[in-house]
């Protein structure tokens, strides 16, 4: 049995499949590192700004992925 989150379909056949959760995890780690550097160098304001932007990108990525998965499931019916 295959995992629907990692099983490639026709639209992703050219690139390797990756789990849906991978990009938000990477963004969270990058946010933490950038935040630590900015707090050490510039202050709290920039850390909060970077975290807000990266979290917004993460939410957008999750929503977009959900819509793509729903569209693919609808097309398979």
- 30-59 per-position pLDDT tens digit: 877 777 777 777 777 777 777 788 788 878
Is residue 75 in a domain?
no
Residue 34 lies in a domain: yes
Q: Is residue 1 part of a domain?
A: no
Please report which residue ranges of 5-43 form alpha helices under DSSP H: 22-41
Reported as a single tens digit per residue, the pLDDT across 4-32 is 555 555 555 556 677 777 777 787 788 77
**pTM score:** 0.47
Tell me, yes or no, whether 13 lies in a domain. no
**What's the pLDDT score for residue 4?**
55
Describe the crossing of helices 22-41 and 44-76 by its angle, rounded to 10 degrees.
170
Q: Per the structure, how many domains does the chain have? A: 1
> Does residue 74 fall inside a structural domain?
no
* pLDDT of res. 9: 56
Asked if residue 9 belongs to a domain, the reply is: no
**Residue 11 within any structural domain of the chain:** no
Question: What is the span of the domain harbouring residue 58?
Answer: 19-63
Task: Give a yes or no: residue 5 inside a domain.
Answer: no
């Amino acid at each position: 049995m295959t995992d629907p989150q990692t099983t490639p379909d026709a639209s992703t056949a050219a690139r390797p499949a990756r789990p849906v959760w991978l990009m938000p995890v990477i963004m969270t780690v990058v946010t933490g590192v950038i935040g630590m550097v900015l707090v050490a160098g510039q202050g709290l304001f920039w850390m909060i700004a970077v975290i807000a932007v990266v979290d917004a990108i993460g939410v957008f990525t999750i929503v977009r992925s959900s819509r793509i998965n729903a569209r693919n499931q609808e097309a398979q019916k």
